[in-house]
């Protein structure tokens, strides 16, 4: 497994793979790798010959009051996880990734300020800009993202289509702990009791999914099943529990009956830890 620090190194690696007639799969991450990330690496190796991962805690996607400096950094164990998954190249740029005087941004207007984007202004601009840079460095044939960050995957899918990135986007399912909690680098910040309380998030999603699976298409009725579940063990606060149209990013909570796939999304806080989760209603990723 090679470790590269600069854009030109990883780009030469990728180009040499392609010259050898091989395809390159890419999984961008911020490190602190867990089984969710490992599953993306496995998915990438299923669709491509050689897999590259990036490990970079991107400062531009953190707001001023967010956890950039305390974001977990677990370099040694990340390398072990990557090696175990058969990764061929690790791209871990340093601070020079954003050179002095850096100004350019890639944004997905309007979509960048819905739900997560409304609560975390500028977050998605940081994500789409850094993913653009990473795509330019790695030049992958396939890029694998997690459904865990569904809104992020939707913005990147839009961006890849709009700007002709010439790669295939693959969205892989959320990996959960055995009790249902979606794996996240931030789960480690939950106290034992908050971690137990947080199981209500997946329970609420499943309650609404069950109503949808029974044939109900009214957004209000689908949501109220999950809302009752949430109310039974309320998080410290709920930022949103709603339905999202994956094609327009419209919030569907009071709209007409669903006539196509939608995504149920939830965000809630336990103390200073903010968790997000979601479930798809139908084939959202195609």
- Exactly one of 128, 185, 208, 278 binds ligand AMP (CB under 6 A); that residue is 185
Note whether 15 and 139 are within 8 A (CB).
yes
Question: Whole-number minimum distance, CB 73 to ligand AMP, in Å?
Answer: 12
**Cα angle: 149, vertex 153, 159; to 5 degrees:** 145
Q: Does the footprint of ligand AMP cover residue 278 (CB under 6 A)?
A: no
Kindly tell me which of 157 and 225 has the beta carbon lying closer to ligand AMP.
Answer: 157
Question: Whole-number minimum distance, CB 175 to ligand AMP, in Å?
Answer: 4
Please tell me whether residue 41 adopts helix, strand or coil conformation.
Answer: helix
d(CA 128, CA 161): 13
Kindly tell me which of 51 and 223 has the beta carbon lying closer to ligand AMP.
Answer: 51
How many of the chain's residues bind ligand AMP (CB under 6 A)?
Answer: 17
CA dihedral sign of residues 205, 211, 213, 215: negative
d(CA 97, CA 99): 6
Kindly tell me which of 142 and 223 has the beta carbon lying closer to ligand AMP.
Answer: 142
Kindly tell me which of 113 and 152 has the beta carbon lying closer to ligand AMP.
Answer: 152
Q: Does the footprint of ligand AMP cover residue 129 (CB under 6 A)?
A: no
**By CB under 6 A, which span of 6-14, 169-177, 196-204, 262-270 interacts with ligand AMP?**
169-177
Site for ligand AMP in 5-34 (CB under 6 A): 29-30
Q: Does the footprint of ligand AMP cover residue 174 (CB under 6 A)?
A: yes
Question: Whole-number minimum distance, CB 265 to ligand AMP, in Å?
Answer: 13
Residue 37 known to be catalytic: yes
Q: Does the footprint of ligand AMP cover residue 128 (CB under 6 A)?
A: no
Site map for ligand AMP, 144-163, x if CB under 6 A? Answer: -xx-xx--------------
d(CA 6, CA 29): 16
Kindly tell me which of 62 and 212 has the beta carbon lying closer to ligand AMP.
Answer: 62
Burial of 6 (0-12, 13-18, 19+ CB in 10 A): middle
Give the residue carrying structure tokens 């190796």. Answer: 45
Length of the chain: 286
d(CA 14, CA 138): 6
Q: Which residues touch 28 (CB under 8 Å, ≥6 apart)? A: 53, 54, 56, 130, 131, 134, 143, 145
d(CA 282, CA 285): 9
**By CB under 6 A, which span of 5-13, 179-187, 198-206, 217-225 interacts with ligand AMP?**
179-187
Q: Which residues touch 72 (CB under 8 Å, ≥6 apart)? A: 31, 32, 185, 188
Kindly tell me which of 108 and 172 has the beta carbon lying closer to ligand AMP.
Answer: 172
Residues binding ligand AMP (CB under 6 A): 29-30, 36-37, 39-40, 145-146, 148-149, 172, 174-175, 182-185
Hey, which residues are catalytic here? 37
């Amino acid at each position: 497994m090679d470790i590269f620090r600069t854009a030109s190194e990883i780009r030469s690696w990728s180009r040499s793979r392609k010259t050898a007639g091989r395809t390159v799969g890419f999984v961008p991450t911020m490190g602190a790798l867990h089984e969710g990330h490992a599953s993306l690496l496995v998915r990438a190796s299923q669709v491509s010959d050689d897999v590259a991962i990036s490990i970079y805690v991107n400062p531009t996607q953190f707001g001023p009051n967010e956890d950039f400096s305390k974001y977990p950094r677990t370099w040694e164990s990340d390398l072990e996880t990557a090696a175990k998954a058969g990764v061929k190249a690790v791209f871990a740029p340093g601070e020079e990734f954003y050179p002095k005087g850096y100004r350019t941004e890639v944004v997905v207007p309007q979509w960048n300020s819905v739900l997560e984007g409304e609560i975390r202004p500028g977050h998605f601009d940081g994500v789409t800009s850094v993913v653009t840079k990473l795509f330019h460095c790695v030049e992958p044939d396939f890029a694998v993202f997690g459904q865990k960050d569904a809104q992020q995957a939707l913005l990147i899918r839009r961006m890849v289509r709009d700007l002709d990135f010439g790669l295939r986007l693959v969205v892989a399912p959320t990996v959960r702990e055995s009790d249902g909690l979606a794996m996240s680098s931030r789960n480690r910040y939950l106290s034992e009791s908050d971690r137990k309380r947080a199981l209500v998030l997946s329970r609420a999603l499943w309650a609404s999914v069950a109503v949808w699976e029974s044939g109900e298409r009214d957004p209000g009725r689908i949501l109220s099943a999950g809302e009752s579940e949430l109310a039974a063990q309320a998080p410290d606060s709920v930022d949103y529990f709603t339905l999202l149209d994956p094609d327009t990013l419209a919030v569907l909570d009071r709209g007409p009956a669903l006539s196509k796939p939608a995504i149920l999304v939830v965000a809630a806080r336990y103390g200073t830890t903010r968790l997000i989760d979601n479930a798809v209603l139908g084939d959202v990723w195609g």
